[in-house]
Amino acid sequence: MARSKCVFPAVVLSLCLLVAAQPARPAQPAQPAQPAQGGGETGGDPLDLARAIGEATPEAQVERDGAAWRVRVSRSSGRPGITFAPPGAAWDLTGVGHVEARVKNLGKAALSVHLALDNPGADRTARKGCCIRSATIPPGAEQTLKVTISARPPKALEEPLRGMRGTPGGFQTRRGQGIDPANVVAISVYVYQPGGTCEYTVSELRAGGSPAFPLPRNLDDLFPLVDRFGQYIHKDWPGKTHGEDDLAAARKQEAADLAAHPGPQAWNQYGGWLAGPKLEATGRFRVAKWRDKWWFVDPEGRLFWSHGLVRVTWSCGYTPISGRGHLFAELADRDSPFGAFYGRSIWAISGLYDRGAETYNFSGANLLRKYGPNWQADYADLVHRRLRSWGLNTIANCSQPAIYLERKTPYTATVYSLDSPPEDTPGATGYVATIHDDSRVIEATSGGWGKFPDVFDPSFKAVLLKEVAQHKGKAVGDPWCLGYFPGNELNWGADETALARAALASPADQPAKRALVDQLKAKYETIEKLNAAWKARYASWEAMINSTAPPAPEQGREDLAAFLATIADAYFRQCREAVKEIDPEGLYLGCRFAGWSHAVVFRTAARYSDVVSVNRYAETLADFRLPEGIDKPVVIGEWHFGALDRGKFHASLRPVANQQARGEAYEKYVASALENPWVVGTHWHQFGDQATTGRDDGENFQNGFVDVCDTPYVETVEACRRIGYRLYELRAGRGDQR
């Protein structure tokens, strides 16, 4: 496998376990060392733990175990584990690419473990002053965790590089985030809020490498950053497009590949298991249990496991261009055919743009170059052939109607805001807003993709109904529609009281606030009884409504947590009602939880959803379990892996070493999902890479099956075929599960 050429200086960290405050000494620079035996990217010698001394963090016990540290953690709500401190005031890791540690899971359950680098005063919850890498390690397995050092950019590059999550030099451009690599005061290996006891070892703590995209000596030479295709200018890599001849060659090569791999023969037209059992055919997708595992059942009555891609569009590589001309070597003449790919942004959460920033769709422009003037129709047909050939059977969330309404591949329907632009125009940026843009929100909420909807205001249900109704004549009643996703990754609050506190901190006319006060009135009857229980001093119920001061942390926790159940019930009930009122046989696929949620919220989602959806970025689903007492099908709405060896500045939410490792990780993740009795599908995020210069929120991940020039990542496609062509045999337990 060819790799980009980089120099990897290695350093050794002389570490001791954090035990007590030490007299301040000058920062100790990391010392050079010889590469480890056998070479490789990492270099550096393993840490000599024999000379380390000290104690563990609270609720953990640490002891020597040969060349490693053995860590035992008891049940906790914190971050127990092991923390190392420098011999002096700090380590100076300037110019170093990463720190890594070898961790072995000694327990009988999967272990979710984290490796963190901290500056003084680091806030791991807000990701300020720290860098964190997480992994899930199966029982008995051993894994190397590697955390990339994301430094704050030099002043001269703060503004020029804003709007990109990943940058040349590996900087963190989000304000307030990133670390000072010259002042690393702690390195920790810990678990977060463990549900029970766990045990693991830590060894081979190393630092090494260099940023994947080093800066030129003269910073002015860094710009422009991308070429006319939207690719990084200052580096080459296998598969990079240098001109139209490369696009033509790639098209010819792929045509031969698709002809040689038409798709699994054991699938019916929907991608269901033709060779498997036949259940009742209803003409629509439904869910059922077969042999103690949950499945979708396709319209013909065949078992169906949803293996798909999110955001199947021609706009994955769009990027804002307003005020960023220095980044682009060449943008299209507006009067040329390529001028059609200019567009307008409909969201802005990075702090760099207001709503309405101008954009350019590099991926769409490259499709015109590659497929000619009839590119939209030709590409839509190609996408369906690709998916079948690759062993995929679902076009998932946020995808393009012009593609999925050809009705050749099952799809999910997205229920989003009313003010989204027409998705089928060349310059469209894609569905990115949420259903709540046109309904009232709880004013004091924040975070995530926006404020939480006020589900007690009539506008919430009204918008839902209008949005689902927009699918009449399209998804409504369509046998190819797998189901509906209303909303995406809502922020349910840092704890079970957060939404109730936000309601009390909102204006007096906030419907959620009045619903909460009504609930409190029903329990306490008089304000005096509430004051006694809360140790509060409200003069009256009306005074409570008029106040925007949230209660003290210790006040009314049980009552505030109880209101979360009320909010969750109102949210999921109305979402279900909206879907079923417009499309009675359509499946309600849930709210796409961002990883997980509070138990009461998850249980409520399970009660109302036909399928619960969870966006789960992890190495595997080996540790994925539903709360006790819940038996419901689950679809994984988002997941992915990425690497830095194909010209992208950010390796994605789950970085791996290279494309070969990416393919292996893909196969491992899907295999673990197929073994899970609740999981009925995995939807990779996303079809194409994000723009090198970032979308509106700065994401510029290597997360696609194809790059910005529509060239498939061969290693990922091959892995997808290996697992995709065996989906049903593995799900049914009839194949080698490796």
CA 319/CA 303 separation, integer angstroms: 40
Exposure class string for 109-138: b at 16+ Cβ within 10 A, else e: bbbbbbbbbbbeebebeebbbbbbbbbbbb
pLDDT digits (tens, 9 = 90+) for 324-364: 999 999 999 999 999 999 998 876 656 666 666 899 999 99
Which tokens is 252 given?
């010819």
pLDDT on residue 110: 79
Q: What is the pLDDT of residue 235?
A: 95
Q: What is the mean pLDDT of residues 624-636?
A: 95
- Per residue in 196-249, pLDDT tens? 789 999 998 888 888 888 889 899 899 999 999 999 999 999 999 999 999 999
CB 620 within 8 A of CB 138: yes
632 has pLDDT over 70: yes
pLDDT confidence of residue 374:
97
Say what the pLDDT of residue 66 is.
84
Please determine, for residue 253, whether its predicted confidence score (pLDDT) is greater than 50.
yes
Bridge partners of 72, per DSSP, are: 61, 199
Q: 600: which 2 tokens?
A: 């009461």
For 316-323, what is the mean pLDDT?
A: 94
What are the structure tokens assigned to 87, written together? 């011999």
Q: Cis omega (within 30 of 0) on the bond before 686?
A: yes
pLDDT, residue 3, reads 32
Give the integer Cα–Cα distance in Å for 357 and 334. 16
145 or 65, greater pLDDT: 145
Query: What rounded mean pLDDT belongs to the chain?
Result: 88
Q: Which residues contact residue 240 at a Cβ distance below 8 angstroms, ignoring those fewer than 6 apart?
A: 231, 647
> CATH top-level class for 251-317+373-493+575-731?
alpha beta
CATH class of 10-222: mainly beta
pLDDT greater at residue 91 or residue 442: 442
pLDDT of residue 674: 98
Q: What is the pLDDT of residues 516-563, one digit of tens each?
A: 999 999 999 999 999 999 999 999 999 999 999 999 988 999 999 999
Reported as a single tens digit per residue, the pLDDT across 669-678 is: 999 999 999 9
Mean pLDDT of the region 49-61? 60
Whole-number pLDDT of residue 351:
61
| Residue-level pLDDT at 13 | 44
User: Rounded to a whole number, what is the distance in angstroms from the first to the last CA of the chain?
Assistant: 23
**Could you tell me what percent of the chain has a pLDDT over 90?**
68
C-alpha 111, offset from chain centre: 20
Domain boundaries, the chain: 10-222, 251-317+373-493+575-731, 498-563
pLDDT at 54: 44
Tens digits of per-residue pLDDT, 22-50? 233 333 333 323 223 222 333 343 333 33
Q: Environment class of residue 669 by beta-carbon count within 10 Å: exposed (0-12), middle (13-18) or buried (19+)?
A: buried
The answer to whether 389 touches 262, Cβ cutoff 8 Å, is yes
